[in-house]
Amino acid sequence: MQRYFLANHDFEDERVVIKGDDAHHIIRVMRMVAGDEVICCNEKDESALCTIEDVSSGDVVLNVTKWLDERKELPVSVTIANGLPKGDKLELIIQKGTELGAAKFIPFIAGRSIVKWDEKKGKKKLERWQKIAKEAAEQSHRTKCPVVTEPLTVQKLIEEAKNYDRIIVAYEEEAKAGESANLYKSLSSLTKGQSVLVVIGPEGGLTEKEVQLLKENGSVICGFGPRILRTETASMYVLAAVSYQTELME
């Protein structure tokens, strides 16, 4: 069933009003009419089965038929901070990461990021990333649409990291050196509701200096298995591991 991510203020008790692009999508693209049903999600990870009451004004007015108990979100909130990669790789990272349950994506301008961030073109890119997250969240039946932020500098990322319960850094030199215990140690000690920031380098990886800086700020440096993963694969690995640990094992 079609799913829409709405603002809290779109809900008023058991009544929902959808405006703008989503209203256009319901009326013009899906050609829905009064009596049809959709799922509406608010910003509190809650979702409701709603029945369309009226579309005549161009807005869509709905009534909540039933609040759902979907439990589609990871028990811990995982943010993927990925060094800005080449080409459209971040699109794949956002699409797959959303399916796999990420709460937020923070691209950052790493020392080895080859792409330059252009403020002007950047706005369009950011809109596109956010759209990919929204579509993937709908398709994977999530109740939360991940946020994609503007790329941060490393310094800003370190500042941001202070807001998290745990900082995990994927570092391929650790993987090469056979480090294999840190990720499990870190994930298995998480408790429900905690927040995790996962920092992943661009192609070429994080610089030693970046790793050092992250270490000094309380990060756990982890290998993600003995094979060398491309930058876009590392986030898939860690999100699947978080799901396996917190949703399937426990």
State the residues that interact with its own copies by CB under 8 A.
70-72, 96, 99-101, 139-142, 176, 178, 180-181, 183-184, 224-230, 233, 236-238, 240-241, 243-245, 247-249
Answer for the pair 197, 164: CB distance below 8 angstroms, yes or no. yes
- Quote the least distance from Cβ 188 to its own copies, whole Å: 8
Per the rule left: phi > 0, alpha: psi between -120 and 50, beta: everything else, 204 is left
Q: Specify the DSSP class assigned to residue 219.
A: P
Q: Which is nearer to its own copies, 7 or 248 (CB)?
A: 248
- Quote the least distance from Cβ 81 to its own copies, whole Å: 19
- Quote the least distance from Cβ 178 to its own copies, whole Å: 8
Q: Which is nearer to its own copies, 53 or 99 (CB)?
A: 99
Q: Which is nearer to its own copies, 151 or 223 (CB)?
A: 223
- Quote the least distance from Cβ 212 to its own copies, whole Å: 24
Q: Which is nearer to its own copies, 10 or 172 (CB)?
A: 172
- Quote the least distance from Cβ 88 to its own copies, whole Å: 13
Q: Which is nearer to its own copies, 29 or 240 (CB)?
A: 240
Q: How many C-beta atoms lie closer than 10 Å to residue 130's C-beta?
A: 17
Answer for the pair 219, 167: CB distance below 8 angstroms, yes or no. yes
Which tokens sit at 31? Answer: 């050609």
- Quote the least distance from Cβ 182 to its own copies, whole Å: 9
* Distance from chain centroid for Cα 236: 11
C-alpha separations of 212 from 6, 50, 119, 220 in Å: 41, 50, 29, 11
Residue type, 55: V
DSSP H/E element including 62:
strand 60-68
Rounded-to-10 torsion of CA 30, 34, 35, 37: 40
Q: Which is nearer to its own copies, 62 or 100 (CB)?
A: 100
Residue type, 225: G
Residues 6 or more apart in contact with residue 123 via CB below 8 angstroms: none
- Quote the least distance from Cβ 177 to its own copies, whole Å: 12
Which tokens sit at 232? Answer: 């876009």
Q: Which is nearer to its own copies, 125 or 144 (CB)?
A: 144
